[in-house]
Amino acid sequence: MITVENLTKRYGDHTAVDDVSFACTPGQVTGFLGPNGAGKSTTMRIIAGLTPATSGSATVGGRAYREIPNPATQVGVLLDASAQHAGRTGAEILRLTAMTLGVNRSRVDDMLEMVSLTPEEANRRVRNYSLGMRQRLGIANALLGDPHILILDEPANGLDPAGIHWMRTLLRDYANRGGTVLLSSHLLHEIEIIADDILVIGHGRIVAQGTKSDLLAAQGTRVRSLDDAALAAALAGAGIRTLPATDGGFTTEAAPEEVGRVAATAGIALMELRPGDGAQLEEMFLELTQQTQREQPVLQGVPS
């Protein structure tokens, strides 16, 4: 189990992580989402004992990472797949880790087979690896000590669709066997498929957390019209906040009858008006982090 309580990290006047609290439980994959610079990687580095917190605590299995004897046998960590010795082969890196951890050398071959690195690839120097191959090697290294907790920062980066499917299957099986997984990713669709619980962070603060089913449950109204720009302006004039939907129109927390009344008053013909039937993760993510993103959506024809 991973437990984070009132965690804060400041760099001078900048607060990278601001009073963050959450827990990741055994048997669950927890997806950690947020815009670039939101505080995901800093939080994970603090959990893994690489960055000291300004205040608060982060424990893994009830202990701070630095207090765990031979920690890689308890916690597997992959924070940067590129941070591997470029002059060594993949097999050498795993053998050195096995020696450090005191695990049987036969486990190196098991892990290479599990992550689908061939003998030829395993004996190639890491400088000649693709990013996807480095991700596979990093995952093998994280699992070498047979830990019961995994902390992975963007592990799907560089993987092709088949590799992403492989990773998803691997992590799902790991959690189903009682493992705890904390997984950050910018691939929202992958988080939507694999995660049981979701954390959303923006400007260093948790803006939403809960089970995937709760966070993606039906909400508000789905509306689409013949003139979405005019509809957006009319709804904004009525004090109704909207979020653009990926296929046109909007989602809003207002009731359908309220949205319909505004559209009728403005003389806007509606093509769709219905209760929300479950927000997609992208829509939820954009809505929850709307005030913390660098790129803000621009609606054509809507006064700013």
Please write the tens of the pLDDT for every residue from 54-78.
Answer: 999 999 999 999 999 999 999 999 9
Using the predicted structure, report yes or no on whether residue 294 has a pLDDT greater than 60.
no
pLDDT in tens, 119-150: 999 999 999 999 999 999 999 999 999 999 99
DSSP 8-state class, residue 54? S
Torsion of the alpha carbons at 166, 200, 153 and 118, rounded to the nearest 10: 10
Reported as type and span, the H/E element at residue 168 is helix 161-176
Tokens of 69: 């004897």
pLDDT digits (tens, 9 = 90+) for 8-44: 999 999 999 999 999 999 999 999 988 888 899 999 9
User: Residue 177, Cα to own-chain centre: how many angstroms?
Assistant: 21
**298 backbone dihedrals φ, ψ, rounded to 5°:** -115, 125
